[in-house]
Amino acid sequence: MIHNRSLMNRNLLVKEFRVNTLSLTVWLLLICFFVAFTMAFYPMFIENQSQFMGLLNLFPADIFEFKGVSNFDDLFSVLGFYAANNTVYMQLFGSIYAIVLGSNILLKEEYNKTADFLLSRPLTRSDAYLTKAAVMIINILILNIIVILVGCVAIEFVKTESYSFQSYLILSFYTLLLNLLFGFAGLFLSTLIKRARPITTLGIGIVLFMYFLYTISKITADAEKLGYISPYKFVDANVLNPDYSLNPWYVLYFAGLTACLAIAAFFIYRQKDIYA
């Protein structure tokens, strides 16, 4: 019995990973292309520094604050340029990928009418949840690791000065925590759906709304407190700060909220009515 459960879990893990490979590949190619394409403009940006500075001075000084740019000079540092232009790709697009994956990885078995295995022995609800959650985590990790490597290579190709690799990794770790949070938010949402149907649009809407709230809070003083509603508030992108490091409270926020969503989804899913 135990051997059969282990075998079915392994088969389910492999099956889910294969099913989601195409989607992961498409998102990887898209995000890596944008990262490499954007960084390719950095040498031209440096060569025409005075012209770009004149153009940037036309904008309010705090317009790029939500991207971790405290002043326009930060954009002429290779790491500042990366943070301002490329962070959005993983923090926005990566989070959209994560929440779409999380919201559909369990629910698709219901709206596709393929949930028979969820109701059969020896595979239990707990097995199905944990295995599919593991697939989601693996996919998010692969996405982040490859984009980190591509970003690092791109920076090395175009840099004109040294940069803090540690700060680069810290920023990337914040992004990973953000993606995992949205992934489990999608998983949690899927367990609340009574009538099985895709919730991709809802998931994307949540990410965009949270990003919008954070952006508004950074560029509008009257809306500053709204930013605390959004998890983007707890991603420190100020990579050029000499004291830049992992904020333990921010890490605790992501770890705690992600754990709460994962545990809540687990117990709700075990009791949920599932129709094959």
Q: Is residue 38 part of a domain?
A: yes
Residue 101: which residues within 8 A CB-CB, separation 6 or more?
20, 23, 136, 139, 140, 183, 186
Domain count, the chain: 1
Q: Is residue 98 part of a domain?
A: yes
Q: Is residue 194 part of a domain?
A: yes
Higher pLDDT, 91 or 58: 91
| pLDDT tens by residue, 203-215 | 999 999 999 998 8
Residue 231, pLDDT above cutoff 60? yes
Residue 6, pLDDT above cutoff 90? no
Q: How many CB atoms lie within 10 A of CB 275?
A: 10
| pLDDT tens by residue, 91-146 | 999 999 999 999 999 888 777 666 666 556 677 888 889 999 999 999 999 999 99
State how far Cα 212 lies from the chain centre: 15
Highest mean pLDDT: which of 56-60, 221-225, 227-231, 269-273?
Answer: 227-231
Query: How many Cα atoms occupy the beta-carbon half-sphere of 147 within 13 Å?
Result: 34
CA-to-CA distance for 52 and 147, rounded, in angstroms? 28
Q: Is residue 222 part of a domain?
A: yes
Q: Is residue 276 part of a domain?
A: no
Cβ(103)–Cβ(189) below 8 Å: yes
CA-to-CA distance for 194 and 11, rounded, in angstroms? 28
CA-to-CA distance for 250 and 41, rounded, in angstroms? 32
Residue 181: its pLDDT value, please?
Answer: 98
Q: Is the pTM of this model over 0.75?
A: yes
Cβ(12)–Cβ(114) below 8 Å: no
Q: Is residue 84 part of a domain?
A: yes
Range of the domain at 105: 2-271
Q: Is residue 211 part of a domain?
A: yes
Q: Is residue 204 part of a domain?
A: yes
Residue 245, pLDDT above cutoff 60? yes
pLDDT band at 75 (very low <50, low <70, confident <90, very high): confident
